Amino acid sequence: MSLRVLVLGSGAREHALAWAIARSPRCGALCVAPGNGGTAGLADNVGLDPADASAVVRFARGNAIDLVVIGPEAPLVAGVADALRSAGVPCYGPSAAAARIEGSKAFARSVMERAGVPHAPGAAFDDPAVAEAYLRTAPEPPVVKADGLAAGKGVRVPRTRAAAVRAVRAAMVRREFGDAGRTVVLERRLVGQEVSAHALCSATNAVLLPFARDYKRLRAGDRGPNTGGMGVYSPPPFATPELATFVLERVVRPTLAELAARGAPYVGTLYPGLMLTDAGPHVLEFNCRFGDPETQVLVPRLTGDLLNALHGAARGTLPSDLEVRPEAAVGVVLAAPGYPTDPRTGGEIVGLDEVDPDVLIFHAGTRRDGRRLVTSGGRVLTVVATGSTVAEARRRVYANVRRVRFPGRQFRIDIGLEAV
Ligand code: AMP
Ligand code: GLY
């Protein structure tokens, strides 16, 4: 039976998901809401707000949609998956109750504590005076995290106690992140290698996808401000089979069991961000969705049918495995000038027709303007190449990045270099 699919979101992650879904022999019709200049060539872009639950339900029912795949965290935390399920529309993405694993860092800590999942020692506070008192006696300045969603900006890793106090006051007193900073988590700073894990989950079943490593800082050498992600590669050299077993058995399964025991069974992608420390892997955070830009390098490495897996997960029949090809993939994000603070958009993008045929371009901030393609957001495109090694994928991706041009484009030259 062919499936009519709706993907919610507008980033390169959603373009990559739509690309993988469109390749499935089971894909009958594909819509992306609201989509972008890249999904327009692959699917029907629909002018729907992903956070407007009743509009999404109306569209899904009116268009006989068989599966909704929710890309970003905000609609998940707001309960769009719940609205779809109660209207009888199968959905890949957790309920609001289960999405709290990302929506509240205090909740995630309580789940990890109960489930025995390794994480940094720390505590949650809702009184700034109590938080400051804790901070003054902590052996070293702790990491300061706004409890709620803060568009990836809610975490500070202060070098001094004074900076930590400032971060607490900014979140809790000045409400720099709005209500997301009403509660703050303080936790020990962990040291090690960071890696992203992704598991497709259906209640207590899970399939682990390959590991990936993303780069959050704007400039090479991990300098400059934090961004939504400037590049990614997979697999990282430290992603061993032992690490995969650890993540599945000591992180993903206990978390799923604890959520199910709390009456919030998890259906969707569970993405733990991990720090590989001398004392073993520790969870830094949970995300309730696919990573961006991780998805852009994960989907080209999957040979299995992603649509089949997502549809199965939504209906309680997640396949036990998803085939992965051994080749590596490297993704480089091209960003607009001024990104991340003050991106300038409207520049014409040229050279897309010059890239090698097997190189993938996933759009984020792009828009069609007549026959031209122009930038319309901070992160504009992710260019992805595969190769038999990370080194080869890296060579190929940068040879092609050079051909894709728009005024003032920014990109990092060191994506995947650590693995070469
Ligand atoms: P999050 O938004 O929770 O992913 O945190 C953003 C970034 O902050 C992570 O990718 C890490 O680089 C850093 N971070 C979070 N928690 C810790 C921690 N306990 N120790 C060191 N770095 C951390
Ligand atoms: N790669 C970071 C994120 O998706 O949150």
- For residue 357, the model assigns a pLDDT of 95
Task: HSE, CB side, 13 Å, CA atoms: give it for residue 76.
Answer: 32
User: In the structure, what pLDDT confidence band is assigned to residue 146 with cuts at 50, 70 and 90?
Assistant: confident
Nearest to 140 by CA among 80, 190, 93, 212: 190
Q: How far is CA 325 from CA 13, 16, 106, 372, 391, in A?
A: 20, 17, 37, 35, 16
Separation of CA 289 and ligand 2 centre (Å): 9
| CA distance from start to end of the chain | 44
Over its C-alpha atoms, the chain yields an Rg (Å, rounded) of: 21
Q: Is 157 in the pocket of ligand 1 (CB under 6 A)?
A: yes
- Report residue 354: phi and psi, to 5°: -95, -5
- For residue 156, the model assigns a pLDDT of 87
Separation of CA 332 and ligand 2 centre (Å): 14
Q: What is the mean pLDDT of residues 102-123?
A: 96
Nearest to 393 by CA among 187, 229, 234, 158: 234
Bridge partner residues of 332 (DSSP): 231, 383
Q: Is 295 in the pocket of ligand 2 (CB under 6 A)?
A: no
Q: How far is CA 155 from CA 94, 108, 142, 152, in A?
A: 23, 15, 11, 7
- Better-scored residue on pLDDT, 168 or 319: 319
- For residue 51, the model assigns a pLDDT of 95
**Looking at the chain, which residues constitute the CATH 3.30.470.20 domain(s)?**
192-314
Q: What would the pLDDT profile of 232-254 be if each residue is shown by its tens digit?
A: 999 999 999 999 999 999 999 99
Token digits of residue 123:
């505590």
User: In the structure, what pLDDT confidence band is assigned to residue 264 with cuts at 50, 70 and 90?
Assistant: very high
Atom number of ligand 2 nearest to Cα 229: 1
pLDDT at 152 over 80: no
Q: Is 285 in the pocket of ligand 1 (CB under 6 A)?
A: yes
- For residue 213, the model assigns a pLDDT of 97
Q: What percent of the chain has pLDDT over 70?
A: 100
pLDDT at 137 over 90: no
Angle, in degrees to the nearest 10, between helices 105-115 and 96-103:
100
**Residue at 153: amino acid letter:** K
- Report residue 397: phi and psi, to 5°: -65, -40
Separation of CA 250 and ligand 2 centre (Å): 22
Q: What is the mean pLDDT of residues 302-307?
A: 94
Which-ligand-closest: CA of 286? 1
- For residue 173, the model assigns a pLDDT of 80
Atom number of ligand 2 nearest to Cα 152: 5
Q: What is the mean pLDDT of the chain?
A: 95
Which-ligand-closest: CA of 152? 1
CATH 3.90.600.10: does it fit domain 328-419?
A: yes
Atom number of ligand 1 nearest to Cα 282: 19
CATH 3.40.50.20: does it fit domain 3-93?
A: yes
- For residue 226, the model assigns a pLDDT of 85
pLDDT at 119 over 80: yes
- For residue 68, the model assigns a pLDDT of 98
- For residue 305, the model assigns a pLDDT of 94
Separation of CA 370 and ligand 2 centre (Å): 32
Q: What would the pLDDT profile of 380-397 be if each residue is shown by its tens digit?
A: 999 999 999 999 999 999
Q: What is the mean pLDDT of residues 71-84?
A: 97
pLDDT at 194 over 80: yes
Nearest CA to ligand 1 atom 14: 284
Compute the distance between CA of residue 281 and CA of residue 106 in angstroms, rounded to an integer: 20
Q: What is the mean pLDDT of residues 356-371?
A: 94
Separation of CA 99 and ligand 2 centre (Å): 15
CATH code reported for the domain at 121-187:
3.30.1490.20
Nearest CA to ligand 2 atom 5: 291
pTM tops 0.85: yes
Q: What is the mean pLDDT of residues 260-277?
A: 97
Q: Is 150 in the pocket of ligand 1 (CB under 6 A)?
A: no
Which-ligand-closest: CA of 157? 1
- For residue 170, the model assigns a pLDDT of 84
pLDDT at 56 over 80: yes
Q: What is the mean pLDDT of residues 264-274?
A: 98
Q: What would the pLDDT profile of 169-189 be if each residue is shown by its tens digit?
A: 888 888 988 888 888 999 999
Nearest CA to ligand 1 atom 1: 285
Q: Is 62 exposed, middle or buried (0-12, 13-18, 19+ CB in 10 A)?
A: exposed
- For residue 416, the model assigns a pLDDT of 97
Q: What is the mean pLDDT of residues 88-105?
A: 97
User: In the structure, what pLDDT confidence band is assigned to residue 412 with cuts at 50, 70 and 90?
Assistant: very high
Which of 159, 282, 285, when mutated, tests ligand 1's pocket best, judged by the most ligand atoms within 8 Å of its CB?
285
Separation of CA 13 and ligand 2 centre (Å): 10
**Looking at the chain, which residues constitute the CATH 3.90.600.10 domain(s)?**
328-419
Collapsed DSSP state (helix, strand, coil) of residue 77? helix
pLDDT at 270 over 80: yes
Q: What would the pLDDT profile of 271-289 be if each residue is shown by its tens digit?
A: 999 999 999 999 999 999 9
Collapsed DSSP state (helix, strand, coil) of residue 135? helix
Q: What percent of the chain has pLDDT over 90?
A: 84
**Looking at the chain, which residues constitute the CATH 3.30.1490.20 domain(s)?**
121-187
Q: How far is CA 201 from CA 1, 160, 182, 262, 419, in A?
A: 23, 39, 30, 16, 29
Query: Which stretch of 140-149, 247-256, 399-408 has the lowest confidence by average pLDDT?
Result: 140-149
Give the CATH superfamily of 192-314: ATP-grasp fold, B domain (3.30.470.20)
pLDDT at 74 over 80: yes
Which-ligand-closest: CA of 382? 2
